[in-house]
Amino acid sequence: MKIRKPVWANQFYPGDPHELDATLTEYFDQAALQQTGKRIVGLIAPHAGYPYSGPTAAVAYKQLENKHYHTVVVCSPSHATPIEGVSVYDGDLYETPLGRIPVDTELTVKLEQKSDVIQRSSAGHEGGFRPEHALEVQLPFLQKILREFKLVPLVFNDFKWEVCQELGHAMAEVLDSEKTLIVASSDLYHGQSYEEAMRTDKETLAAIESFDAEKFCDKSEKHEIMACGAGPITALMVATKKWNTQAPRVLGHTTSADVLGKSGGYVVGYAAAIIEK
C-alpha cells in the first residue's frame, strides 16, 4: 500500500488527533449554516495555518453538515514543486492524524485516461523539494464533517486557460455530480497592505461570483485578481458550470490581519464559497 503520510501536522494544524478534533469542533461550532437546501457540488476554502484561516475554512465546510458524498476531489495549487500538467496521486491512501482516507483509484485512472494533461504521479504529493500543504490541510475538515468518503487528490501549478479548461471538462465528464464534491484550495491576496488586500479580495470574489471561468483565469484583464489557487478555482468553475449549477456563493471573507487584530505588516486574504446544483 502506498500511503501519503501527514507532512504538515504540528505546523499548519495540530498533530495530536484529540487536539485536532477539538480545534475543528470549536471552528464548526462558531460557523453558521447558510444552506439553501440545494446540493453543494463545489467548495472554495483557504489553506493557511489553522489559527489564521481555519475559522473561514470551517464556514465553507459547515455547509456539508449531514450531507454525504462518495468521492471528494481536492484541487490544490503546487506552491513549490514544478509540475507538468496536473498530478493526481498514484497511491492508495492519504493519511492525517484523524486517520487514513482511501484514494478513489478507479476515478484517478479514468481521469488520466480522459485527458493528456492529467498524469497519475507522486509529484507535488510526496517526496521532492516540498510536499504540498494546500491539499493536506483541507483533509481534516472533510474527515470531521463527512466521516467517510474516497479522495481524488489533484495538484498543479500550470494555470493556463487550456490546462484549467481541460481539467474542468475531464472532471465534469468523469465524475458523477450526484455523488461528488469538488474542493478548490486557495488563499487570496498576499502582500503588505491591508487596504489593498480588502480592495483586491473584493475584486477577486466578485470575479468568482460572476462565474466567468475564462475571465477569472485571464491575467491580461484590467481588473486585479489574486488567488494562489486560481487554477483550481478556474477548473472548479469549468466543471460545475457543465453540471448546470448556480454561480458560486461567497459565504465568508477575512484576512490574517483581521485574525491578528492589526492592520500593518504582511497580509493574506481568506474566503469561503460554495457552488450549489
pLDDT at position 129: 76
pLDDT at position 36: 81
- Tell me how far apart the alpha carbons of residues 265 and 196 are, in angstroms, rounded to a whole number: 12
The total of structural domains in the chain comes to 1
State the Cα torsion 143-252-276-73 to the nearest 10°.
Answer: -40
pLDDT at position 4: 97
Q: Are 216 and 225 in contact (CB under 8 A)?
A: yes
pLDDT tens figures, 186-214: 999 999 999 999 999 999 999 999 999 98
The strand order across the sheet containing 3-4 reads 3-4, 93-96, 99-102
Cβ neighbours, 10 Å, residue 235: 31
Q: Are 138 and 47 in contact (CB under 8 A)?
A: yes
Q: Closest by alpha carbon to 272, among 257, 259, 254, 245?
A: 254
Query: SS3 sequence, 165-207?
Result: HHHHHHHHHHCCCCCEEEEEECCCCEECCHHHHHHHHHHHHHH
pLDDT at position 223: 61
pLDDT at position 146: 98
pLDDT at position 217: 83
Q: Residues in the chain with pLDDT < 50?
A: none
pLDDT at position 224: 79
Cβ neighbours, 10 Å, residue 172: 17
Which residues span the domain enclosing 23?
3-276
Q: Are 231 and 156 in contact (CB under 8 A)?
A: yes
Which CATH number characterizes residue 91's domain? 3.40.830.10
pLDDT at position 222: 55
